[in-house]
Amino acid sequence: MLSPWLELDGARDRVRSWSDRTGLDLIHLGTEADAERIQDTAIAQPLIVALSLLAYDELRERIELPADAPVAGHSVGELAAAAIAGVLSAEDAVTLAAVRGAEMAKACAAEPTSMAAVMLGEPERVVAWLADYGLAAANQNGAGQIVASGAADAIAQIVAEPLEGTKVRALKVAGAFHTGYMAPAEEALRKHAAGITPADPNRPLLSNADGTVVTSGAEYLDRLVQQVTRPVRWDLTMDGLVSLGVTRTVELAPAGTLTGLVKRQLKGVVTSTIALKTPADLAKLEDAA
């Protein structure tokens, strides 16, 4: 996950400093740990944010980015977006991700919960169907994808008996993210966030809550905390990007999923998409520039 990025100048030192802040050996975890260890949400979350920020640092070294280029993140990716927009320091973003991941892992262990991806189907009808099972639409990702979240037995039911016209696939996750099951994690994250003084964004920064641009750093940090128990509206976030005139997107590592959603949902509107999976992919952006 981290190996190719650690070869960049200064990257290893940055990750080492983040390891000191989080109490996690991110270099070992991102280069040598096995898949099961990496899939632990307490490990995955700080690694994802660290990797995104390494990719961004190298991106801005190679490409002169427009000062007003909008930025958005999906779920834990909002922490990286907040750092890119100057709301948080990189150190605070990675540390918050570690706290968020650890506390969400604890909340997941409290009772059996899970998630499932629901593909196709009319969004409003899918959301109502999930509610009949006591499930939440935790991620409304657009492009015909909604992620259900809630009690494990209810998730098993919808996987076994999908709504007509949909396909349902169980996800390998620790529990019901972005629901009330994560309330203890939200409370713990709020306590940690209270010690951080955010700055106002230095570029348009979109929120997963409703796809709008947030101009107050304090409000964005509060939204980051609340997001733990609230749905991710990536569909509205993509609409927000369009409203800002975005026609080209770059997805920071670990990349691919959001680029796929943009290609499907915003076909004909966004004309160029680049997913930075490894440093080698930066050459595509340099060529495009």
Whichever domain contains 251, its CATH number is 3.40.366.10
Same domain, 42 and 83: yes
Same domain, 100 and 51: yes
Same domain, 228 and 103: yes
Q: Which of 52, 74, 178, 207 is catalytic?
A: 178
71: amino acid identity, one letter: V
Same domain, 77 and 142: no
Q: Rounded mean pLDDT of 230-249?
A: 97
Residue whose token pair is 């770059």: 250
Is-contact 22 79, C-beta < 8 A? no
Q: How many domains does the chain have?
A: 2
Q: Say what the alpha-carbon torsion angle 219, 224, 225, 231 is, to the nearest 10 degrees.
A: 110
For 181-206, b/e burial (b = at least 16 CB within 10 A) is bbeebbebbeebbeebebeebebbbb
Q: What is the pLDDT of residue 212?
A: 98
Q: Is 178 a catalytic residue?
A: yes
Domain boundary among 170, 187, 220: 170
Same domain, 20 and 122: no
Same domain, 63 and 50: yes
3 state SS of 275: strand
Same domain, 144 and 102: no
64: amino acid identity, one letter: E
Q: Interhelix angle for 41-62 vs 11-22, to 10°?
A: 150
The pair of structure tokens assigned to 109 is: 């262990």
Name the pLDDT band for 279 (thresholds 50, 70, 90).
very high
Domain boundary among 138, 170, 202: 170
Q: What is the pLDDT of residue 35?
A: 87
Q: Rounded mean pLDDT of 98-115?
A: 96
pLDDT of residue 36 exceeding 90, the answer is: no
CATH of the domain at 118: 3.30.70.250
Same domain, 152 and 250: no
d(CA 288, CA 279): 15
Same domain, 125 and 85: no
Range of weakest confidence among 7-11, 53-57, 61-65, 215-219: 61-65
Q: Is 75 a catalytic residue?
A: yes
Q: Rounded mean pLDDT of 29-48?
A: 93
From residue 155, how far is each of 49, 84, 113, 159, 267 by CA, in Å? 28, 36, 8, 6, 31
Q: Which domain covers residue 141, as residue numbers? A: 110-170
Please name every residue paired with 113 in a beta bridge, in sequence order, or none if there are none: 151
pLDDT of residue 285 exceeding 80, the answer is: no
Same domain, 138 and 270: no
Q: What is the pLDDT of residue 288?
A: 65
Q: Rounded mean pLDDT of 114-135?
A: 96
Q: Which of 19, 52, 75, 207 is catalytic?
A: 75
Ramachandran assignment for 165, one of left (phi > 0), alpha (psi -120 to 50 degrees), beta (any other): left
Domain boundary among 141, 170, 199: 170
Name the pLDDT band for 117 (thresholds 50, 70, 90).
very high
Terminal alpha carbon distance of the chain: 26
Q: What is the pLDDT of residue 215?
A: 98
Is-contact 232 178, C-beta < 8 A? yes
From residue 119, how far is each of 14, 80, 133 by CA, in Å? 39, 27, 17
Q: What is the pLDDT of residue 289?
A: 61
Range of weakest confidence among 30-39, 69-78, 164-173, 189-198: 30-39
Q: What is the pLDDT of residue 84?
A: 98
Percentage of the chain exceeding pLDDT 90: 92
Same domain, 189 and 105: yes
Cα angle value 29/31/35 (rounded, 5°): 65
pLDDT in tens, 246-264: 999 999 999 999 999 999 9
Name the pLDDT band for 155 (thresholds 50, 70, 90).
very high
Same domain, 78 and 198: yes
- Mean model confidence pLDDT for the chain: 95
